[in-house]
Amino acid sequence: MNKRRIGTTALEVTEISFGGAAIGGLYRACPREPAMETLQTAWDGGLRYFDTAPFYGFGLSERRTGDFLREKPRSSYVLSTKVGRLFRPVPEDQVPDHSYVDPLPFALDYDYSYDGIMRSVEFSYARLGLNKIDILFVHDIGTYTHGVEKTKLHFRQFMDGGLKALEELKSSGTISAYGLGVNEVRICLDVLSRAPLDCILLASRYSLLDRSAEAELLPLCRQRRTSLIIGGVFNSGILATGPVPGAHFDYQPASKDIL
């Protein structure tokens, strides 16, 4: 499979990658056996870039991804995960509903500070059972997740400290690249206007149904030499399933207009 370079780094990823939300139980339960079979099918198909996140199943996706990759030669794949959410154990009846079925028994707190990002990385190492993460994405920072007022707080927290943590991790060789992992264009423009990013994992905003990244973000990424990794290419499902009953668009049941 062909590869593409991430930004101006030496890191290269396969043109098609594996996104780990579904093996964390997004929308429906995903037992361990089919999760591992799916990862193996991706590997057999030539995919060598695997993306996961603490949010996916509240740690479940990271655990499974790490279990699968642990026996593979470390130089044979690229791994990315995300920062911005910290998890704490809670009783099963207090696990929040974020559309994950049978997640691990944790609740989450948002933290985009220097300490929060450093803690998030350490927790991810433990869940993955691996000693190297190639790319870190700042997860879901923006109004799509937080609304206007909380986004102002999180954005300031990230710019005042979280960005420094990522720069230190990259300069020390702990990671090879960093960027944003988001579902919206505006926050990408806001961050890129203030700081360099190696890459952006943008979900659902550059697809056959949603072209909102095209006008401003694509030209800016070319100018800043920031790689744009296109996630959510099926817009949560409808571009894979077609307009069938129960089809999802943008993480919720598709409207009549979308159908």
Q: Which residues are catalytic?
A: 51, 56, 82
Residues facing residue 163 across a β-bridge: none
Residues facing residue 178 across a β-bridge: 136
Please say whether the beta carbons of 77 and 11 come within 8 A: no
Sign of CA dihedral 254, 64, 145, 192: negative
Pairwise CA distance, residues 118 & 6, whole Å: 22
For strand 12-14 and strand 3-5, is the pairing parallel, antiparallel, or unpaired?
antiparallel
Among residues 240, 106, 82, the alpha carbon closest in space to that of 158 is found at 82
Contacts of residue 223, defined as CB under 8 A and 6 or more positions apart, other chains included, come to: none
DSSP letters for 120-167: HHHHHHHHHT-S---EEEEES-SHHHHHHHHHHHHHHHIIIIIHHHHH
Maximum C-alpha span of the chain: 50
* 188 three-state secondary structure: helix
